[in-house]
Amino acid sequence: YDIHQKIYPLAQSPSLVVIFLMIMLLSVIGFKLSIVPFHMWTPDVYEGAPTPVTAFLSVGSKLGGFVVAIRMLSIMFDAAAADWSLVLGSLAVLSMVVGNIIALAQTSLKRMLAYSSIAHVGYILIGLTANTSEGLSAMVFYLIIYGFMNLGAFTGAILFSNETGSDNIDDFGGLIRKRPWLALALSVCLLNLAGLPVPPAGFLAKVFIFWAGFQMYSTLGNVLVATALITSVPALFYYTRVVVKMIVQDPSPKVDALGNRRPRLVDPQAGPMWALGISVAGIILGSIVVNPLMTFSSSAVGTVGKVPTIGGLPGNVQ
């Protein structure tokens, strides 16, 4: 807040110094959050790093980065919101398009999740670009649910890789025959990342953030929402492709070589199993306690007011 008091008067009439400072700040935030075009490190790091490290980078690092982004942009540079929101909105569009399109071509689950995380950053940026109490609240709600979804997806990749030594999407074929609990739990996480209401936590997170973009009542808001809706179509394909392979297809050679084994409390893989179970439980719980979570999200960003609702639309969440 001390920094805000010094920068706020300058931001009201931007000078070259303030503009340079904003560019540097947006670049740092872009690199931290893997926003296009600062995303180039993400797929290689996600694929090359140990999967637990990748899971931390994908969840913990992202959550921290967005907290910093909210405080720096919405508080320090609030007076220049019209300028940075246009830049951030443009980067959000690029992130949604690039992340979802390139994810389609991936054969590694970790690389697919890396590119999909870039796309999800684009979705989350809609709330920050709106810079309203509803937008920031929807953004925090999305981050909470996204944390469970993405952590569960990477934990599923850890469990599968520990047993087979592979994260190739084709090798997940027929997993439900040998590891039904893993296939079903991973499916819940992937389908929620796709925005399908099974259960509806991921779906509601997207609805809230899209609605916040629509409530901008501007060309930028309309472009953001339209891009998000269009790019959600390829996301449905590459997420459900993994689910279909696990549940519908015949077992792959990697899966066929697995022995029959039930999950146990005392097990070499007990840690990842518990993490996956907690992630699925978090998704289910988030689908039930929507209002308390949204109230918490509003409090977290320093807002007081009503929980964002989908007024006048079918399926209104009150």
318 falls in which pLDDT band (50, 70, 90)?
very low
231 falls in which pLDDT band (50, 70, 90)?
very high
44 - beta bridge partners? Answer: none
Top mean-pLDDT range of 9-23, 71-85, 163-177: 163-177
14 falls in which pLDDT band (50, 70, 90)?
low
Contact status, residue 290 vs residue 317, Cβ threshold 8 Å: yes
Angle at CA of residue 254, ends 253 and 259, nearest 5°? 105
Among the residue ranges 6-15, 215-224, 251-260, the one predicted with the least confidence is 6-15
Q: Mean pLDDT in the chain?
A: 82
Q: What's the rounded mean pLDDT across residues 164-175?
A: 89
Residues 172-219: tens digit of each pLDDT:
998 998 888 889 999 999 999 998 888 889 899 999 999 988 988 888
For the whole model, what pTM was predicted? Answer: 0.85
CA distance 165 to 167: 7
Q: What's the rounded mean pLDDT across residues 242-264?
A: 82
Please report the pLDDT score of residue 245 as a whole number.
92
Please report the pLDDT score of residue 312 as a whole number.
39
Contact status, residue 195 vs residue 206, Cβ threshold 8 Å: yes
CA distance 151 to 146: 8
Residues 19-28: tens digit of each pLDDT:
777 788 788 8
CA distance 175 to 184: 9
CA distance 133 to 84: 17
168 - beta bridge partners? Answer: 108
Question: 272 or 202: whose pLDDT is higher?
Answer: 202
Q: What's the rounded mean pLDDT across residues 262-273?
A: 66
**pLDDT of residue 142 exceeding 60:** yes
Neighbours of 65 (CB within 10 A): 19
Residue type, 50: P
Contact status, residue 26 vs residue 87, Cβ threshold 8 Å: yes
Read off the tokens for 161: 């890789």
- In eight-state DSSP terms, residue 259 is P
Is omega for the bond preceding 253 within 30 degrees of 0, making it cis? Answer: no
**pLDDT of residue 3 exceeding 80:** no
Residue type, 16: L
Residue type, 197: P
37 falls in which pLDDT band (50, 70, 90)?
confident
CA distance 11 to 227: 30
**pLDDT of residue 315 exceeding 50:** no
Please report the pLDDT score of residue 189 as a whole number.
93
CA dihedral 263→267→271→275, nearest 10 degrees, is 10
**pLDDT of residue 244 exceeding 90:** yes
Question: 28 or 124: whose pLDDT is higher?
Answer: 124
Contact status, residue 98 vs residue 210, Cβ threshold 8 Å: no
